[in-house]
Amino acid sequence: MSLLESILTANRNFVHPGAFPPLPKNPKKQLAIFTCMDTRLVDFLEHSMGIKRGDAKVIKNAGNILIDPLHGGVIRSLVAAIFMLGVEEIFVIGHEDCGMAGVDPERLKNDMISRGVSRQAIETLVPDLAQWLGSFACPAENVTDVVGKIRSNPLIPPDVPVHGLIFCPNDGHLEVMVDGYQAEGFNRKQAQGDCFPVPDAAP
Q: What DSSP string runs through 131-166? A: HHHT-BS-HHHHHHHHHHHHHH-TTS-TTS-EEEEE
Give CA–CA dist 72/88, Å, rounded: 20
Per-residue pLDDT 10s for the chain (203 aa) are 999 999 999 999 999 988 888 999 999 999 999 999 999 999 999 999 999 999 999 999 999 999 988 889 999 999 999 999 999 999 999 999 999 998 999 999 999 999 999 999 999 999 999 989 998 999 999 999 999 999 999 999 999 999 999 999 999 999 999 999 999 999 976 544 444 443 444 44
Does the pTM exceed 0.75?
A: yes
Helix, strand, or coil here: 199?
Answer: coil
Domains, the chain, in order of start with CATH, read 24-100+137-189 (3.40.1050.10), 102-135 (no CATH)
Contact 162, 146 (CB under 8 A): no
